[in-house]
Amino acid sequence: MSGPAFLDQLKKKFGDKITGANFEAIDPWIEVSPHGLLEVCRYLRDDPKLRFNMLNCISGVDYFEADPKKAAKTGWEPHLEVVYHLWSLPNKTSLVLKVILPRWKDGVVGELPEVPSVSGIWGTADWHEREVYDLSGVYFSGHPNLRRILCPEDWVGHPLRKDYEMPLEYHGIRGR
């Protein structure tokens, strides 16, 4: 199935839960709204024709430019993306899903944006969501065990945020 036809099919089924797509990209992607993510993912995995049974990777990408001069040229508003790379082993096809989130929930700095956890759909998501939470600062609601995974549990901040600053001190160790 071609990209646009597939998008039409998804749009017919899920309506405004599919918020956009890009087919010119090297890896074409489909944008899903956070509240429709679970439904779409379950469909992608269970539909007998699609069968995206493997979730390869979840990545958090922070779009934020601190320098106002550079920020004017970027062409995007500050936001956060959670990117899901899927494979269908039976069909040998891949798919990219994106969820666009605000950098902070309701614009309150320090409040992590929320996205539903897909750990009930793909087991891979369990650890990957913990990693994205840890490093990029996204709260996965419904995750059974959302704790930091790579950084120590008492670490402050989310290192892959573009405005992250190394702590001055961690348990008596100089940070910077």
Residue ranges in contact with other proteins by CB under 8 A: 25-27, 53-57, 59, 61-63, 74, 83, 85, 89, 92, 94, 96, 122-124, 126-128, 131, 135, 148-152, 159-160
Q: Which of 156, 29, 157, 41 is nearest to 100 (CA)?
A: 29
Nearest approach, Cβ of residue 76 and other proteins (Å) = 9
Q: Pick between residue 9 and residue 157 the one whose CB is nearest to other proteins.
A: 157
Give the C-alpha separation, 7 to 4, whole Å.
5
Q: Pick between residue 12 and residue 147 the one whose CB is nearest to other proteins.
A: 147
Contact status, residue 63 vs residue 79, Cβ threshold 8 Å: yes
In the beta sheet, which residues pair with residue 27? none
Q: Pick between residue 41 and residue 131 the one whose CB is nearest to other proteins.
A: 131
Is 120 strand, coil or helix?
coil
Contact status, residue 96 vs residue 86, Cβ threshold 8 Å: yes
Q: What is the separation of C-alpha 65 from the centre of its chain, rounded to a whole number of angstroms?
A: 19
Q: Pick between residue 8 and residue 27 the one whose CB is nearest to other proteins.
A: 27
Give the C-alpha separation, 150 to 82, whole Å.
18
Nearest approach, Cβ of residue 19 and other proteins (Å) = 18
Nearest approach, Cβ of residue 63 and other proteins (Å) = 8
Nearest approach, Cβ of residue 111 and other proteins (Å) = 23
